[in-house]
Amino acid sequence: MIILKSKKISKNLLTPAKTLVIGFLFMITLGTILLSLPIASANGVRIPFLNALFSATSATCVTGLAVIDTGTQFSLFGQIVMIVLVQVGGIGFMTMATIIALALNKRISLRERLILQEALNHGTINGVVRLVKKVILYSLLVELAGALLLGLHFFFMQNLSLGRALYFGIFHSISLFNNAGFDLMGTVNGPFSGLAPFVADPFINMITMVLVFLGGVGFIVLSDLIEFPNTRKISLHSKVVLTATTILIVVGTVAIFAMEFNNPYTLKPLHAGGKFLASMFQSVTTRSGGVSTLDIGAFHESTQFLLILLMFTGAAPGSTGGGIKITTFVLLLGAVHAMIRGRNDVILFRKRIAKDVVYKAITLTLLSILLVIVFSMLLSITEHQDFLTILFESTSAFGTTGLSMGLTSQLTPLGKVWIICLMFFGRIGPLTLIYALTRLRKNEPFNYPEGRIIIG
């Protein structure tokens, strides 16, 4: 009886937040073991453990930061391990487990639905299993379309063999849709070349931006958009995400275009159309895409700081992207606007937002800022780089963006550990991590007397 009771207690203590943390740790551990095998290395020599751990974490957390070039340093086996980690990490291991369970006609329990709700940032458990089915369906359809378009382009325009072109298409489509940013272009244009050779290629640019955008707006928004012809309704969440995303893309594009217009190392060599395309590409991918057609280290410092702000804001909840999430950013602006206007409530699209949601947004933002500050300080101790480069790297890791000013490949062993921690915390989310490390929350059975302090 005692043993049964302890098992029951331990099971109850395994909250959805703890389950997510343990699940991601398991995926990272498994990925590290597989990438450490000699068969995962292109030259058959075992990849150092820390590099394998860094790569597995970056892939599982769909970040894209790389200490070794994916195309030239990993074998076919290693590349497949990486892209599987990206796929599972992007749509969520609980989503994959649920689909397998449904395929085996297994019933999804209430506890599993609660975990899915936490994993997908869904507002309620109602319809969460139905959302999981949509996540898988939409992901496969988008990735398949992207793979075919990219594969045909690589075959006809890059003169790759049909098999290799299709493989490249599949790999990059999965990587881009999941906002991971890993690429195999090192085998064609040299290690760490990325998408820079395609800076003036409209087709690659547009396909990449569409894949990153669709992965970044989130599955709830995708579901609303696909079902709109039938329902003729768009949820408040989707309205906020689509409106704010469009505004940030436009503002980012215009700002990058203006600040880098005469920079001889970035936009200046390009024609007018190329300048605009490169500016838009960078504005879109900075939100969490992790790929770049320009040298980030060659940007003006003002542009680099703008990219830091965009990376910190990130993508939408329930998406494959990171950051504090765009809805959090909008709620913060809404709270400021409400305070200035003397309102008690935050109003968005004529809807009042619950105060606990606003408090959650403020808490998430402050915890995120604290994480970036602490790890930036730690990196400034171990890495011999200017602070803007370190801050950029920290924000990119936390926002699971994957962009770098060149620091990633030069990280010290301890610096790699700091970035690994930041990527993990950024993917899990500060609030989920806090909930996983603390006891079950209980409401106080009483109210404290009201007090006042002076602000401003």
Higher pLDDT, 145 or 447: 145
pLDDT exceeds cutoff 70 at 402: yes
Q: What letter does residue 47 receive in the DSSP assignment? A: P
pLDDT exceeds cutoff 60 at 2: no
- Cα–Cα distance, 88 to 220 (Å, whole number): 18
Mean of pLDDT values over 364-388 = 95
Which pLDDT does position 450 carry in this prediction? 81
Instruction: Indicate the SS3 state at residue 103.
Output: helix
Q: Tokens in use for 406? A: 């060149």
pLDDT exceeds cutoff 90 at 392: yes
How far CA 271 is from CA of 129, 261, 282, 303, 347, in Å, comes to: 49, 10, 16, 20, 43
- Cα–Cα distance, 303 to 278 (Å, whole number): 13
Give me the DSSP letters along 237-272.
HHHHHHHHHHHHHHHHHHHHHHHHTT-TTTTTTS-H
Mean of pLDDT values over 185-196 = 90
pLDDT exceeds cutoff 80 at 112: no
Tell me the domain boundaries of the chain.
15-437
Instruction: Tell me the pLDDT band of 6, cut-offs 50, 70 and 90.
Output: very low
* CA-wise closest residue to 154 among 198, 212, 199: 198
Which pLDDT does position 38 carry in this prediction? 96
How far CA 252 is from CA of 58, 245, 316, in Å, comes to: 25, 10, 17
Q: Tokens in use for 357? A: 């949601």
Angle between helices 413-428 and 355-382 (to 10 degrees): 170
Q: Report whether 63 contacts 96 (CB < 8 A).
A: no
pLDDT above 70 coverage of the chain, percent: 88
Q: What is the mean pLDDT of the chain?
A: 88
Burial environment of residue 4 by CB neighbours within 10 A (0 to 12, 13 to 18, 19 or more): exposed
* Least confident interval from 2-6, 154-158, 386-390: 2-6
Please provide residue 351's backbone torsions phi and psi, each rounded to the nearest 5 degrees: -125, 135
* CA-wise closest residue to 117 among 23, 225, 17, 221: 17
pLDDT exceeds cutoff 60 at 9: no
Which pLDDT does position 287 carry in this prediction? 82
Q: What letter does residue 352 receive in the DSSP assignment? A: E
Mention every residue, 6+ apart, whose C-beta is less than 8 A from residue 335. Answer: 346, 358, 361, 362
Mention every residue, 6+ apart, whose C-beta is less than 8 A from residue 305. Answer: 388
pLDDT exceeds cutoff 80 at 357: yes
Which pLDDT does position 182 carry in this prediction? 94
Which pLDDT does position 122 carry in this prediction? 63
Higher pLDDT, 8 or 170: 170
Mean of pLDDT values over 150-158 = 94
Number of neighbouring beta carbons within 10 Å of residue 29: 14
Which pLDDT does position 223 carry in this prediction? 86
Mean of pLDDT values over 174-186 = 93
Mean of pLDDT values over 41-56 = 95
pLDDT exceeds cutoff 50 at 8: no
Mean of pLDDT values over 162-188 = 94
Mean of pLDDT values over 5-20 = 59
